Amino acid sequence: MAGHSKWAQIKHKKASTDKKRSNLFGKLANTITVAARSGTDPSMNPSLQMAIDRAKSENMPKDNIERAITRGGGSASGIQVEEMTYEIYGPSGIAILAMALTDNKNRTTAEVKAVINKFGGKIAGSGAVNFLFDQKGLMRVSIDGRGSENIELVIIDSGAEDYQKVGDEYLIYTKPKEVKETADRITGQDLKIISSELVMDPKETVSLPEKEAEKVIKLLEALDELDDVVGVNSNLG
């Protein structure tokens, strides 16, 4: 079993609350725009398909999705969106990766640093944190009234690398290039995939006493709430 982060579980547990945040559609649009740079046909671009699927799972309007694809494909003039990754040491030395999409690197960096300073973290050197994580495909699958044993057999047969049950969902981990194939096998067994995305999954996790863990979670939540930050991962276990 991989060392999946407690933060991943917490984040997905509160997904329904995140839908109500005013900045969510902006984050999703930026993710689609960047993915569309590698091709605007979702059937030929798995990253774009995942971004679209996630946007649809959050009830993002079709017009918003299409505009984001057009912007990424270069068919519309607009501000250039860039990808940035921040390597961070949180409280108690917890490793954190924060991924951002921004049209103003100076603004985003200033906002990220302000949050880090407020919640007791510090920026790490390039490469100091990244090597502690592996990129994985992550799917959320609804239990939808079916028994756990039945669902787990389907997940195992799908070729997934790992899974964990969180509330009324399963989080399923795959190799990055096998997300579509695994998803096809799962949906072929009448299971509902709520969303799919690429994440940085910790190779090992670090357990902390409750009070120390709460400090880390406050930092993770504050980073996740920044408008330009589209992904936050940690090795908090």
The answer to whether the predicted template modeling score (pTM) of the entire model surpasses 0.95 is no
The CATH homologous superfamily for domain 6-73 is Integrase, N-terminal zinc-binding domain (1.10.10.200)
Q: 83-131+203-234 sits in which CATH class?
A: alpha beta
Residue with tokens 């969902």: 169
pLDDT digits (tens, 9 = 90+) for 134-156: 999 999 998 877 778 889 999 99
Tell me the per-residue pLDDT of 55-105, one tens digit each, with 9 for 90 and over: 998 889 999 999 999 988 876 556 688 899 999 999 999 999 999 999 899
Q: Where are the domains of the chain?
A: 6-73, 83-131+203-234, 133-202
Residue 17 buriedness (CB in 10 A; 0-12 / 13-18 / 19+): exposed
**In the prediction, which pLDDT does 166 show?**
87
CA distance 82 to 149: 43
CATH architecture of structural domain 133-202: 2-Layer Sandwich (3.30)
73-77: long-range pairs with CB below 8 Å, 24+: 73/36, 73/37, 73/40, 74/37
Domain 6-73 and domain 133-202, same fold? Reply is no
What is the CB-side half-sphere exposure of residue 124 using CA atoms within 13 A?
Answer: 21
Whether residue 19 is predicted with pLDDT greater than 60 in this model: the reply is no
